[in-house]
Structure 1
Amino acid sequence: MRKLIFGMNMTLDGYIAAPGDDIGWSGPPSDELFQWWLDRERASGLTLYGRKLWETMSSSWPTGDQQPNATPAEIEFARNWRDTPKVVFSSTVDKVDWNTRLVTGDAVAEITQLKAEDGAPMSIGGPTLAGAAMRAGLIDEYALVTYPVLLGGGTPFFTALDSWVNLTLVETRTFPGGVVLTRYETRR
C-alpha cells in the first residue's frame, strides 16, 4: 500500500494563499528549504494535483531548467518534475503534458485505488483535492512548512473535518528566515 503525503507552504495562521490566490507572501525559499522540497519530490513516485496547483506548477517547471539564472537545484527540480508521473484531478482542464494523466471523475475513488497499489509514496497538492482526501481519511502524513507570516484570511491548509484525526509528530526542523517544518503521521 502506498503512503499519501500532503505538504505545502503555509502561514502561521494556517493559510496557503491570501485572498485572490496570492502566494507572494512566502517569497523565494532559502536554498536549504528548496533542497528539502527537491529531496521530497525525488522520494515521491507519483504526484497528485488539483487544478490550481497544476496550473501554477505547469506554468514554470516544464522549462525551469532552461532559465538563464537557474540554480543547480532548480535545474534538478525541473527535470525531476517533468519525469515524475503526475495525475491532475479536474473537470475543467482538458489537456495535460509532461508525464501526466487527467482524471475527471471521482477523486476519492481514484486516490483510494492508487493508494492500494505498490510503489513509492505519493504526494498530494492543492487544498481542495487534499481536503477531499483528508475527509476520506486517506492522508498518511502532513508536512507543514510554516512561514512567520499572518494573513488573516485566504485559502486554508486544512479543511473542515467530520471527525478528529490524531497525529504523531515525526520531525521538526528550522530553516533560514524562521520557516519551520513540522511533519506528522496519521495514527490509525
Structure 2
Amino acid sequence: MSKVFSAHAVSVDGYITGRDPGAGRGLGDATMLFDWYFAGDTPSQVFDGFRLSAPSARVFDTHAGRVGAVVAGRNTYEDSDHFGGGSPHPRAPLFVLSHRPAPQISQSQTLVTTGIEDAIAAAREAAEGKDVGLMGGGVLASALAADLVDEVILHQVPVLLGGGRSFFRELPKHVHLRLLEAVPAPGVTHLRYEVAR
C-alpha cells in the first residue's frame, strides 16, 4: 500500500514560511529556506531547474520520485498563488483540502471539502500505487491526528526566522517518531522520521 508522508523545508525554530505570507507575497521573507534547491552542481532528476549538492540531490530526488499525488492545505495553496493552476510536483496531481469554496481551482486541480480522510483517499487512488505527499502544517496536523501519516521528512535549514507560519500545529495527542535517516548537506540537514505506531 502506498505511504503518506510530508517533506518540508523548515527553520531550526520550526517555521515553514517567513512573516506575512499570503497571496502575492508567497511564503513571506523566508526564501533562504529554499536556497539549497539551487546551491549545488547536481541537477534534480525530478524537478527541472533545481541544482542541488550531491547529498541533497540524492535525498530530494528519492522522495520526490515516490510522489504520485499531492494534498495541500488552503493556506499553502493561497501562499503559492494556486501553483499557477497546476501542481507543485511536475508529475503528480494536486488535491486541495479546504473547508470553504475555492473558485480559483483549475480543471487540473481537485478541491476536497469533506476532510483529510477523503482528500488522502482520493489522492491515493490518483497516485496509482505511488506515495501521497502532504504540503502544509495544517494538512500534516490533520493527517497526524487521523493517524494517516507514515513518515515526516524535515529539510532543516540552519536559520532562526523568529516568526512566520509554524510547521507543527497543535495536535490532540502525542506523536512518537523514529529517526530513519539523517543526511547533512551544504545549507541543510535532511531528517527522515517514521511515525511510530
What TM-score do you get using the length of structure 2 for normalisation?
A: 0.73
Asked if 1 retains the 8 angstrom alpha-carbon contact of 2:68 and 2:132, the reply is yes
Q: State the shift of 1:34 in Å.
A: 5.8
Asked if 1:49 is matched to 2:49, the reply is: no
Ranges of 4+ aligned residues in structure 1 off by more than 4 Å: 57-62, 114-118
Count of aligned pairs: 170
The one-letter code matched in structure 2 to 1:172 is: A
In structure 2, the gaps of 5 or more residues are 22-27, 40-51
Asked if 2 retains the 8 angstrom alpha-carbon contact of 1:6 and 1:143, the reply is yes
**Equivalent position of 2:45 in the other structure:** none
**Equivalent position of 1:89 in the other structure:** 97
Cα separation, 1, equivalents of 2:90 and 2:178: 33
Q: State the shift of 1:44 in Å.
A: 0.6
Q: State the shift of 1:145 in Å.
A: 0.5
Cα separation, 2, equivalents of 1:181 and 1:129: 21
**Equivalent position of 2:16 in the other structure:** 16
Q: State the shift of 1:87 in Å.
A: 0.7
Q: State the shift of 1:160 in Å.
A: 1.4
Q: 1:139 aligns with which of 134, 137, 149?
A: 149
**Equivalent position of 1:107 in the other structure:** 115
Cα separation, 2, equivalents of 1:108 and 1:116: 12
Q: State the shift of 1:99 in Å.
A: 3.6
Asked if 1:184 is matched to 2:189, the reply is: no
What TM-score do you get using the length of structure 1 for normalisation?
A: 0.76
Q: State the shift of 1:58 in Å.
A: 4.5
The one-letter code matched in structure 1 to 2:70 is: T
Cα separation, 1, equivalents of 2:122 and 2:174: 24
Cα separation, 2, equivalents of 1:24 and 1:95: 25
Q: State the shift of 1:82 in Å.
A: 4.1
Q: State the shift of 1:123 in Å.
A: 0.4
Report % sequence identity: 26
Cα separation, 2, equivalents of 1:2 and 1:114: 12
The one-letter code matched in structure 2 to 1:157 is: F
The one-letter code matched in structure 2 to 1:85 is: P
Asked if 1:173 is matched to 2:196, the reply is: no
Q: Cα gap change, 1:61/1:99 in structure 2, threshold over 3 Å: closer, same or farther?
A: closer
**CA offsets per residue over residues 49-75 of structure 1, 9 Å max, x none?**
11232341744696xxxxxxxxxxxxx
- 3-state SS of 1:15 partner: coil
Asked if 2 retains the 8 angstrom alpha-carbon contact of 1:134 and 1:159, the reply is no
Cα separation, 1, equivalents of 2:83 and 2:123: 28
